[in-house]
Amino acid sequence: MKYYLSFLLLVVAALARKQPESKMAPPGINQLATQYVRLALDIGRYDSSFVDAYYGSDSLQPSATKKATFSKDSFLLEVQHLQDALGQLLLQTTNDTIQKRATWMKAQLTAFGRRIKIYSGEYASFDAESMDLYSVAAPVYPETHYQALVAQLDTLLQGKGTVQERFQLLCNRFIIPKAKLDTVFHAAIAECRKRTLHHYTLPANENFMLQFVSDKPWSGYNWYKGNYQSLIQINTDLQIFIDRAIDVGTHESYPGHHVYNMLLEKNLYHDKGWVEISLYPLFSPQSLIAEGSANYGIDLVFPGNDKIAFCKDVLLPLAGLDTTGISIYFKAQAIKGQLKFARNEVGRGIINKTMDTPTTMRWLKDYCLMNEETAKKSIRFINVNRSYVINYNYGMELIKNYMEAKAGGAADADKRWEAFGVLLSNPVLPSDLLKASK
Ligand SMILES: [Zn+2]
């Protein structure tokens, strides 16, 4: 599989050399892509969360002096002009590549518009916001849906106390001691990298740096630096359980954010010269693809019982922890995974002002199985990142449906990795996921 992909990359690279994009394309798309990047960088001078990664040319950085105040109306006008120009181009062209690039940028720009408004203090409802930012609205489930899932946990977890207390007791057996964090995380990332390299050829100089930090609203973050380098930061404010090591190895690293960013940089930016790819706007449809695929990647790297086996054989001994109960722990985690949609309801409640603080805390504790400190952290995350929460759970569901439509179930591993590689190497929109899954 690895050889097939590298052969494909060579063919694509050879074609790109023979017929440079600028000669094939009618004038317009590359200029518009440059304007798109310039606009994002300009907004990013005010809104520090706007640009998550940029590895393009310094020459596109805004040269004009930064104005004292954020000019909402003029930025919105720029977004509108750029969307109109892309719309014109779409009417004129029959070139598939240009259509794909223009459609993708248009959707990304809708997100720019919404984010500009949010940054200026103009808010919409949770679903209207996520439609603009991530092109989808997550499904709403009634409280009874979550109660039924908690009832499954009740049956699974033996002992006295509430389900939440029993769940917490089980989790507490698998807290990684602080002194072992570095060793355990490096071992997990190394295994995920090895398994990913079995299927993909990655750039020879690719690398990452792992750092432990504190006082952040998130639990982990991949800062992609360009040139195939990532800085992966892990927040140590809260206790870190053994499955976090697997999550960081896959979600943040291989084949999650680190690999996703590298494949885009290599295949689209360097090989094809698509300038718009060099900038990753955080609050955009691209994040639904990024978070959804990063979460889906966990099952790709560790299908079936592989995760439990790897924990038992490698990670728990490295952490100096007993392996008793690890199978039930992962069964409970799988149910908790389905409960993650409850965080969307909490997000809706906070953003739409339909839940007061005690109610949000109750939902996070009862249905997201969080303890007091994790629940408070989660509220802090939602206040900062708002409807972004849907990207983790609904994003993963959309990617899973797409992958099943493209590559079937877990049986053919090569086919799954190949379809996943195509997904990570193209400007895919949430609407493409929905279309392919029908
Ligand atoms: Zn992520």
Residue 136 in contact with residue 398, Cβ under 8 Å?
yes
Q: Which of 88, 116, 117, 81 is nearest to 102 (CA)?
A: 88
Number of H helices, E strands in the chain: 21, 5
Residue 212 is predicted with a pLDDT of 95
Distance 275 CA to ligand 1 centre (A): 23
pLDDT in tens, 111-151: 999 999 999 999 999 999 999 999 999 999 999 999 999 99
pLDDT in tens, 396-428: 999 999 999 999 866 788 999 999 999 999 999
Tokens 């976090």 belong to which residue?
244
- Decide if pLDDT at 79 tops 50: yes
More confident site: 21 or 377: 377
- Determine the Cα–Cα distance for residues 92 and 377; give it in Å rounded to an integer: 49
Distance 49 CA to ligand 1 centre (A): 14
- Determine the Cα–Cα distance for residues 170 and 332; give it in Å rounded to an integer: 9
Distance 407 CA to ligand 1 centre (A): 23
Distance 394 CA to ligand 1 centre (A): 13
Distance 295 CA to ligand 1 centre (A): 8
Residue 6 half-sphere exposure toward CB, CA atoms < 13 A? 11
Distance 83 CA to ligand 1 centre (A): 28
Distance 63 CA to ligand 1 centre (A): 32
Distance 253 CA to ligand 1 centre (A): 9
The rounded percent of the chain whose pLDDT value lies above 90 is: 86
Distance 257 CA to ligand 1 centre (A): 7
Give the pLDDT mean for 295-321. 96
Distance 219 CA to ligand 1 centre (A): 10
pLDDT in tens, 182-231: 999 999 999 999 999 999 999 999 999 999 999 887 888 999 999 999 99
What is the pTM (predicted TM-score) of this model? 0.91
Residue 36 is predicted with a pLDDT of 98
Helix, strand or coil, per DSSP, at residue 233: strand
- Decide if pLDDT at 291 tops 50: yes
Residue 407 in contact with residue 399, Cβ under 8 Å?
no
- Decide if pLDDT at 274 tops 90: yes
Distance 74 CA to ligand 1 centre (A): 31
